[in-house]
Amino acid sequence: MKILIINPNSDPEMTAAIERTALDFAAGDFEVDCRLTPGAPRFIETFEDELKAAPGMIRLLRDHHDHCDAFVIACHCDPNLDVLKEISRKPVVGIGEASMKIASMLGHRFSILSATRHSIPHKEDLVRKYHLEGMLASIRTAGEGVGALVDQDGYIRAARRAAEEDGAEVIVLGCAGMTRLDRVIQERLGVPVLDGVVCALIIAGGLAKYGLSTSRAGKYDPGD
Amino acid sequence: MKILIINPNSDPEMTAAIERTALDFAAGDFEVDCRLTPGAPRFIETFEDELKAAPGMIRLLRDHHDHCDAFVIACHCDPNLDVLKEISRKPVVGIGEASMKIASMLGHRFSILSATRHSIPHKEDLVRKYHLEGMLASIRTAGEGVGALVDQDGYIRAARRAAEEDGAEVIVLGCAGMTRLDRVIQERLGVPVLDGVVCALIIAGGLAKYGLSTSRAGKYDPGD
Amino acid sequence: MKILIINPNSDPEMTAAIERTALDFAAGDFEVDCRLTPGAPRFIETFEDELKAAPGMIRLLRDHHDHCDAFVIACHCDPNLDVLKEISRKPVVGIGEASMKIASMLGHRFSILSATRHSIPHKEDLVRKYHLEGMLASIRTAGEGVGALVDQDGYIRAARRAAEEDGAEVIVLGCAGMTRLDRVIQERLGVPVLDGVVCALIIAGGLAKYGLSTSRAGKYDPGD
Amino acid sequence: MKILIINPNSDPEMTAAIERTALDFAAGDFEVDCRLTPGAPRFIETFEDELKAAPGMIRLLRDHHDHCDAFVIACHCDPNLDVLKEISRKPVVGIGEASMKIASMLGHRFSILSATRHSIPHKEDLVRKYHLEGMLASIRTAGEGVGALVDQDGYIRAARRAAEEDGAEVIVLGCAGMTRLDRVIQERLGVPVLDGVVCALIIAGGLAKYGLSTSRAGKYDPGD
Amino acid sequence: MKILIINPNSDPEMTAAIERTALDFAAGDFEVDCRLTPGAPRFIETFEDELKAAPGMIRLLRDHHDHCDAFVIACHCDPNLDVLKEISRKPVVGIGEASMKIASMLGHRFSILSATRHSIPHKEDLVRKYHLEGMLASIRTAGEGVGALVDQDGYIRAARRAAEEDGAEVIVLGCAGMTRLDRVIQERLGVPVLDGVVCALIIAGGLAKYGLSTSRAGKYDPGD
Amino acid sequence: MKILIINPNSDPEMTAAIERTALDFAAGDFEVDCRLTPGAPRFIETFEDELKAAPGMIRLLRDHHDHCDAFVIACHCDPNLDVLKEISRKPVVGIGEASMKIASMLGHRFSILSATRHSIPHKEDLVRKYHLEGMLASIRTAGEGVGALVDQDGYIRAARRAAEEDGAEVIVLGCAGMTRLDRVIQERLGVPVLDGVVCALIIAGGLAKYGLSTSRAGKYDPGD
C-alpha cells in the first residue's frame, strides 16, 4: 500500500518535516510519498491562497492516482478536500477532518492550537462543517506570524491554558507545520495530543485496506 | 450606482435572461452590467466546475472593481463567494445567500426549487453554512437535467407540493436560470416567490448606498 | 415610494433623530415619514411596555396602510413585529431583524451594542428567534440607564472589546437611539457598524420595489 | 392553596370544561378558580387575538394576585405568558410549557395534537422557544375548524399515526378545549397522553408549595 | 400516596439529610421513604461507581414497587435513571432532570453548582441529554473534594458569580448532598435556588396523582 | 499488536462471525481475539441487558489488559463504552462510534440499518451523543425480531430505500450480527457500506500504533 501526502503549499522544509513524521508512523508497514504542490503559495492563509493551490493539487492527485492507494491533504484547513474527494475513486482524507474526528473519540472536548490568529474564523467554520461545535473547547494561538511555528514554549503554554481554563481533554495540532509537537506537549500535560498527519494516515490507510472510498452517490458525484 | 452581475458559468442565454431581470428591477434607478465568466464551464454542477470558474470570476471582479459599486454572483450555489468577498473592498452578494436570508424574513419556513437532484446536498450544505437549517421546509426538484430548466409546469407542481405538504410559506428559486418564474408561480400559489438576482440587487444596492462592505477584520482579511 | 417608520415608544427626540437618519439615507430616492407611537411608554424595556405600545402601533399601521408602501419598526427588540406582519398586506420590517441578517452577510460573527444590561436576555431571545446564535460574538453594554444612550465613548470602548476580545467582525447598534454612532465607531475601529434603521430601509424599500410582502400562507395568516 | 386558571379566550363552555378537569385533578387538595378573559376573542388564533386577550388577562392576574398562590394560563399556545411572569411575584405556568416539559420526561419523543392547521407554525415556534425541537416527533391535526374540537375519533386517528408513523412515545393535547381526551386516547393507544391543564397544575401547585416563583433577576425584571 | 427516594450511594448521613428535606416538603400530604443503596459506593463519581450502584437500586425499586406510587433517584447525575424507567410501571424521576426542567421554566438561563470539578463534563453531558444546552449559563464549583460539600460560603460565592458574571437567573443545586442550601443562597442572592429532591417530588407526586408513567412504547419498552 | 474484541452478548455464533470478519481484515497484520461476554444476555436489547453485560465486559478487559494493545466493543449500541474507556489505559473503541464517524467522512449523509424497530430510539440517542444528528439520513429496519438478522434481501431493500428516498450516500450496518452484509449490499447499490467491526479495528489499531489512548483529564478520569 502506498499513500500520497499532498502538502498544499510549496514549502520544501515543511514538506520534508511532514514526510519524516509519516515515515516514522508508517514504520515500513506501508509506503508514503509526500509532495509539495507546484504553483501553490508558500503558505495557505487566505481563500485566494486555497484557490491558487487547487490546480497543482489536482494535478498531483491525477498523476499519482493509478499507483497510489489513498491520498492525504496535509494542511489543517483541509483546502480543496471536497474537489479531491469528488475526482478520486480512492480514499482522500484531510488532516483537519481526521484529527478532529479522532479527537472526538478520545475525550469530552478538544482544543485546537492555531498557528495564526487569522486562521481562527476559518477553523471555526471547519469545526461547524464537521458538526463538531459541541465538542470544541477552544481554539488557541501561541502568537502571530510564521515565526510562531517554531515557538514550542508558546504552544505548550497555549495547550496548558486550553486544558486548565477551557476544559480541553484532548489537544489537536492545528497546522501540519507543528508536526513533532505532539509528543512534547503530551509529555508536559498528560493529555492526548494529535498530529493531523498521523490521524489522516490511520483513516486513509484503514479505508484503503478495507477497500472503501468516498461515496459517489450525491455530493461527490463527478457527473462523468 | 453601477452593479456588476457575474454569471459564474459561460452560458450566453442565461446571462442575457439574468440581465433582463436585473434591468427590469433596476428600472433605471441604477446601472447593471451582467457578464458571463470567460473560461467557466457551460453549467456549474460539481466542485471542479466551481474551481474552473474561479479565475474568470476573479478577473471580472478585478477588471470592474474601480468603476462598479457592488458585485452580485448570479449562481444559486454561491460559487467562489468567499474569495470574492475577500479580495474586494466593495459589497459582494451571492444570490443564494441574499434570497434565503430575505426569505427568512417573509414567513415561517421556505422551500428551494432545485434544477437538478445532484444539487440537493450542495444546497443543504449552503443552508447550513448560512445557519438556516431551522427555517428550511424542503428542497424540491421538478425533474432531472438541464432541460428541466424550462419545464415551468414541473416547477409549479414542485412549489405547490412544497407549500401544501412541506409547510413552505415562501418559495426560493434555486437557480439563476429560473428567472421570470417568480411571478408565474406566485400568481398560481399566492405565496411569495423569490428570484435570487433581485434579492441580491436589493442587498448589494443597499449596501453600496449605505457605504458598507465586507468586514476585513478576520475571516475575509486578504492579508495585504 | 413612501415608507412609514414607526418608533414604538413616545419619545419625540428619538423619533426626530431616527427620521434624520432615514432622510439622509433616502436622499430623496423615496419618501419617509417617522412617527412616535401615541399611548406608548417613553421607552420600551419590559414585556408590559411592548404590550402598551401595541394598540398605538397597530393604529399607525392601519391609518397609513393605503398611502404607504412599506413599514419599519424602529426599536431593536422588534416589538409587535409579528402582529404587524400579520395585519399588513405590505412589507413590515423590524430593525433588529434587518440589521442582524445583513450583519450575517458581512463577516464571520457580529456583536450587538445594548443600551441597558436589562435588554441582554431579550436580545439573546431575539437572536435565537432569528436562528443567529451561531453568528453572535457577544452582546455588550456601555453602562446602565438611559443616560448611557449618549455616552459615545462608552460605546466605542464596548465595540472595541467586542472586536478584540470576542471576535466580532461586524458591530450592530442595538438601539434606535444610537443612530449616528455607526460612522463614529466605524472610523475608529475599521469594521462595519450597522444602524438598524438604515438596514430596515434597505429591506423594506427593496421588498416594496420588488412587489413582495409577508407570506399569508400560515404563520401570518390573519384568518380574514 | 388556591390556583387561578386564566382561560385566555372568552368562551364560557371551554372555561367550564377546563374547570371540571382542574377540580377533578385537585380532588380537594387545593382550590381552583377558572375564569374566562373579559374582552378576549372567543378563540385565540392569531397574533392579534393574543394582543386582544392581554389586557383582560393582566387585569385578572392583578385582581386575584393577593388571594391566589399560583396562576395557570389555559391556552396551549401560552399567550402572554412572558408578561404575566414579569408582573407577578407568584408562579405563573403555561399549559403548553408545562405539558411539553413533562412529556419530555416520559419518553423519547412526543407529538402534539393541534386543533387547527393554522396553529402548526405557532406551535413549532413554541417548541423551539422551549428548546424541545429535538424531542418533537410531529404535530398532527384531526381536521379543520372549531368543529374539529369535538371530533374524538379524528384525534384518536391522529394520535395513532403519530405513535405508529412518527415515533411518538407520548401524546400532548395541543388545546385546552381537548380536555378529557387524555383518558380516551390513552386507553386506545397505550401511550401516555397529557392534558396541559393537569400538567400546569402539577408545576404551579408544586412551585407554590415550595415557595418559588419566576426569577426577577433579568428577563422578567419588571423594572419597578 | 407514598414515594420511595433512592439515594444511589451508601452514605447514611446524606440519606438522612435528603429524607429530612423530603419530609419537610411533603408536610404530611404524602409519605416518603428514603433509602441508601446497599452495595453502592460511598459516593458516585465515576462511570464504574454508577454501575456498582445499579444492582442495589434495581433491587430497591423492585422490592418497593407494589406498595409505592412513585420513585425518585436522589443523585444529581441521574445514575441508572433510564434502566429504572424501563423496569418500572410507575413514575421514576431523577433529581437532575426534574430540577433542570423546572429551572428552565423560571428564568432565561440557569447555572448548576457542582460539588467537584470532576463532575463538570458529566453534568455537561446530562444537560445535552436533556436538550438544555441553550439554557445553561454555567456550571460552577466551590472547590474540590467531599469536604467541599459543607462549605456553604464557597457555594454562595459560586452562585453569586454565576448570577453576576454568567447571566444565571436561576441556580440549581447540583448534588443531593447540598440539600438545605437552597434557602440560604436564595436569601443572599434573591434568585430562585432549586433543590433537586424537592423538584423531583413535585414531578413524581404529580405524575402519580395524575396516573401517568413512563411510556413503554419504544425507548423504555422492557420487552416483556 | 493484539486487539481484543469484546462481544457484549453471549451468543457464540455471532462471536465466531465477528471473529472471522476481524481476521479477514487483519490479514495477519495484527492479532485479534474475539470473546463473548460471560454472564451477558444472549442479545442486548434493553437498558437492563446492557447492565447485565457490564460485569463480564469489565472482567474481560481487566483480564486481557496487560497483553492486549487495544479493545473493541462489538455491539452497535456501544454498551458500557464509557466505563471501559474510563478503566483502561489503552484505546477502547465502540463499533457504533467508529462506524458512524468514518461514515461521516465518506459522504453527505448516512443511514443506519437496524436489526429491530426497538433499537431505533436507542440509535437516535447514540447519534445525538456523537453529535451526528445533522449527518443522519435515516434509520431503517428490515423487519422485526432476531430472525430478521439473516434476512439479507430485507436489508438490501432497506438500504436501497435509504439511498433512493432518504438521501443516504453511505450505509452503516447497525448490528455486529450483520457482518458480511457490507460487500453484498455495496455490490448491489454502489454506495459505501460500513461494517462497524472493521471500522473499530481501523481506529483501535491506528491509536495503538500511534501510542494514544483515552484522555484521563476529566470525563474519563478514573479517580485512582
Nearest chain A residue to E122, by CA? A108
Question: Per-residue pLDDT averaged across D85-106, rounded?
Answer: 98
Q: Are the Cβ atoms of B108 and D121 closer than 8 angstroms?
A: yes
Residue B27, C-alpha cell as written in the block:
428600472
Q: Which member of D133, D192, D215 has the closest CB to residue E191?
A: D215
Q: Are the Cβ atoms of D108 and F121 closer than 8 angstroms?
A: yes
Q: Is the dihedral of CA B173, B178, B182, B185 positive or negative?
A: negative
Q: Which has the higher per-residue pLDDT, D137 or A152? A: D137
Question: pLDDT tens per residue, chain E (224 residues)?
Answer: 999 999 999 999 999 999 999 999 999 999 999 999 999 999 999 999 999 999 999 999 999 999 999 999 999 999 999 999 999 999 999 999 999 999 999 999 999 999 888 999 999 999 999 999 999 999 999 865 444 455 889 999 999 999 999 999 999 999 988 988 999 999 999 999 999 999 999 999 999 999 999 999 999 999 87
Whole-prediction pTM value? Answer: 0.96
Contact partners for chain C, using 3 or more CB pairs closer than 8 A, are: A, B, D, E
Q: Predicted ipTM?
A: 0.96
From the CA of E111, how many Å to the nearest CA of chain C?
A: 15
Contact D146, D152 (CB under 8 A): no
Integer Cα distance of C211 and B27 in angstroms:
13
Question: Residue E152, class by beta-carbon neighbours within 10 Å (0-12 exposed, 13-18 middle, 19+ buried)?
Answer: middle
pLDDT tens digits along F27-79: 999 999 999 999 999 999 999 999 999 999 999 999 999 999 999 999 999 99
Integer Cα distance of C99 and A189 in angstroms:
44
Q: What percent of chain A has a predicted confidence (pLDDT) above 70?
A: 96
Nearest chain A residue to E124, by CA? A108
From the CA of F25, how many Å to the nearest CA of chain E?
A: 32
Q: Are the Cβ atoms of A202 and F194 closer than 8 angstroms?
A: no
Q: Are the Cβ atoms of F86 and E222 closer than 8 angstroms?
A: no
Quote the mean pLDDT of chain D. 95
A-facing residues of C in 157-176 (CB < 8 A) are 167, 169
In degrees, to the nearest 5, what angle opens at C-alpha B114 toward C-alphas B113 and B119? 150
pLDDT score recorded for residue F150: 57
Q: Buried (b) or exposed (e) across B37-57, using 16+ Cβ within 10 A?
A: beebbebbbbbbbbbbbbbbb
Contact F179, F197 (CB under 8 A): yes
Integer Cα distance of B172 and B194 in angstroms:
5
Query: Does B96 have pLDDT greater than 60?
Result: yes
Using a CB–CB cutoff of 8 Å, tell me whether B123 touches chain A.
no
pLDDT score recorded for residue C144: 54
Integer Cα distance of E61 and E63 in angstroms:
6
Per DSSP, helices labelled H in D130-195 are 152-165, 181-189
Q: Identify which of B191, B158, B190 has the alpha carbon closest to the alpha carbon of residue B174.
A: B158
B&F contacts, CB < 8 Å: 9
Grade residue F140 by pLDDT with cuts at 50, 70 and 90. Answer: very high
Contact E131, E162 (CB under 8 A): no
E188 CB neighbour count, 10 Å cutoff: 13
Query: Does F147 have pLDDT greater than 70?
Result: no
Map E11-54 to HEC letters. CHHHHHHHHHHHHHHHCCCCEEEEEECCCCCCCCCCHHHHHHHH
Helix axes A196-210, F95-103, angle to 10 degrees: 90
Query: Does F104 have pLDDT greater than 50?
Result: yes
Query: Does C149 have pLDDT greater than 60?
Result: no
Contact B18, B25 (CB under 8 A): no
How far, rounded to the nearest angstrom, does the alpha carbon of residue C48 sit from its chain's CA centroid? 19
Question: Per-residue pLDDT averaged across A100-127, rounded?
Answer: 96
Q: Which member of B101, B108, B214 has the closest CB to residue C218?
A: B108
Residue B190, C-alpha cell as written in the block:
399566492
Residue B10, C-alpha cell as written in the block:
459561460
Question: Per-residue pLDDT averaged across B169-181, rounded?
Answer: 93
Residues of D in contact with F133 (CB under 8 A): 134
D129 CB neighbour count, 10 Å cutoff: 17
φ, ψ at E136 (rounded to 5°) = -90, 125
pLDDT tens digits along A161-208: 999 999 999 999 999 889 889 999 999 999 999 999 999 999 999 999
Q: Is the dihedral of CA E27, E30, E33, E34 positive or negative?
A: negative
Residues of B in contact with D124 (CB under 8 A): 108
From the CA of C113, how many Å to the nearest CA of chain E?
A: 17
Q: Are the Cβ atoms of E191 and D131 closer than 8 angstroms?
A: no
pLDDT score recorded for residue E9: 96
Map chain E to HEC letters. CEEEEEECCCCHHHHHHHHHHHHHHHCCCCEEEEEECCCCCCCCCCHHHHHHHHHHHHHHHHHHCCCCCEEEECCCCCCCHHHHHHHCCCCEEEHHHHHHHHHCCCCCCEEEEECCCCHHHHHHHHHHHCCCHHHEEEEEECCCCHHHHHCHHHHHHHHHHHHHHCCCCEEEECCHHHCCHHHHHHHHHCCCEECHHHHHHHHHHHHHHHCCCCCCCCCCCCCC
Query: Does C126 have pLDDT greater than 70?
Result: yes
Integer Cα distance of A141 and A115 in angstroms:
6
Contact E158, E175 (CB under 8 A): no
pLDDT tens digits along B28-58: 999 999 999 999 999 999 999 999 999 999 9
Grade residue B144 by pLDDT with cuts at 50, 70 and 90. Answer: low
Mutate to test the interface with E, among F42, F43, F44, F48 (most CBs of E within 10 A): F48
Q: Are the Cβ atoms of C86 and D47 closer than 8 angstroms?
A: yes
How far, rounded to the nearest angstrom, does the alpha carbon of residue C95 sit from its chain's CA centroid? 2
Integer Cα distance of F39 and F36 in angstroms:
9
Amino acid at D64: H
Contact C116, C45 (CB under 8 A): yes
Integer Cα distance of D215 and D217 in angstroms:
5
Query: Does A148 have pLDDT greater than 80?
Result: no
Integer Cα distance of E72 and E203 in angstroms:
9
pLDDT score recorded for residue F151: 80
Which residue reads 467508529 in cell numbers?
F98
Q: Which member of B102, B170, B215 has the closest CB to residue C107?
A: B215
Maximum Cα interatomic distance, chain C, rounded to a whole number of Å: 51
Q: Are the Cβ atoms of E218 and D108 closer than 8 angstroms?
A: yes
Query: Does F20 have pLDDT greater than 70?
Result: yes
Contact D16, D74 (CB under 8 A): no
Residues of D in contact with E214 (CB under 8 A): 106-107, 192
In degrees, to the nearest 5, what angle opens at C-alpha E48 toward C-alphas E46 and E52? 120
Q: Identify which of F51, F177, F169, F160 has the alpha carbon closest to the alpha carbon of residue F114.
A: F177
Question: Per-residue pLDDT averaged across D47-76, rounded?
Answer: 98
Question: Per-residue pLDDT averaged across A3-8, rounded?
Answer: 98
Q: CB-based contacts of B52: which residues, under 8 Å, 6+ apart? A: B39, B40, B41
Integer Cα distance of C10 and D193 in angstroms:
48
Q: Is the dihedral of CA A140, A144, A146, A148 positive or negative?
A: negative
Using a CB–CB cutoff of 8 Å, tell me whether D223 touches chain C.
yes
| DSSP structural state of residue F177 | G
Nearest chain E residue to D134, by CA? E131
Grade residue C148 by pLDDT with cuts at 50, 70 and 90. Answer: very low
Q: Identify which of D196, D176, D208, D215 has the alpha carbon closest to the alpha carbon of residue D3.
A: D208
| Pairing label, strands A170-173, A193-194 | parallel
Q: Go through the domains of chain C in sequence order and give each one's CATH number.
A: 2-95+198-210 (3.40.50.1860), 97-196 (3.40.50.12500)
Residues of E in contact with A109 (CB under 8 A): 121
Q: Identify which of C101, C110, C124, C90 has the alpha carbon closest to the alpha carbon of residue C169.
A: C110
pLDDT score recorded for residue B150: 57
Grade residue D150 by pLDDT with cuts at 50, 70 and 90. Answer: low
Residues of A in contact with B125 (CB under 8 A): 219
Q: Identify which of C163, C138, C143, C166 has the alpha carbon closest to the alpha carbon of residue C153.
A: C143
Query: Does D203 have pLDDT greater than 70?
Result: yes
Q: What percent of chain C has a predicted confidence (pLDDT) above 90?
A: 91
Contact C55, C26 (CB under 8 A): no
Which residue reads 420590517 in cell numbers?
C93
Integer Cα distance of A165 and A32 in angstroms:
38
Residues of A in contact with C168 (CB under 8 A): none
pLDDT score recorded for residue B59: 98
Contact partners for chain B, using 3 or more CB pairs closer than 8 A, are: A, C, D, F
Using a CB–CB cutoff of 8 Å, tell me whether C132 touches chain D.
no
Integer Cα distance of C114 and C155 in angstroms:
9
Beta-bridged to residue D3, according to DSSP, are D32, D70
Q: Identify which of F39, F44, F66 has the alpha carbon closest to the alpha carbon of residue F176.
A: F44
Q: What percent of chain F has a predicted confidence (pLDDT) above 70?
A: 96
Question: Per-residue pLDDT averaged across D207-220, rounded?
Answer: 96
Mutate to test the interface with E, among C124, C129, C140 (most CBs of E within 10 A): C124
Residues of E in contact with A169 (CB under 8 A): 121
Query: Does C146 have pLDDT greater than 70?
Result: no
Helix axes C95-103, C196-210, angle to 10 degrees: 90
Q: CB-based contacts of B209: which residues, under 8 Å, 6+ apart? A: B1, C25, C27, C202
pLDDT score recorded for residue D151: 81
Grade residue D85 by pLDDT with cuts at 50, 70 and 90. Answer: very high
Query: Does D1 have pLDDT greater than 60?
Result: yes
Contact C194, C170 (CB under 8 A): yes
Contact E170, D215 (CB under 8 A): yes
Q: Which member of C203, C205, C210 has the closest CB to residue B25?
A: C210
Grade residue B148 by pLDDT with cuts at 50, 70 and 90. Answer: very low
Contact partners for chain A, using 3 or more CB pairs closer than 8 A, are: B, C, E, F
Query: Does F148 have pLDDT greater than 50?
Result: no
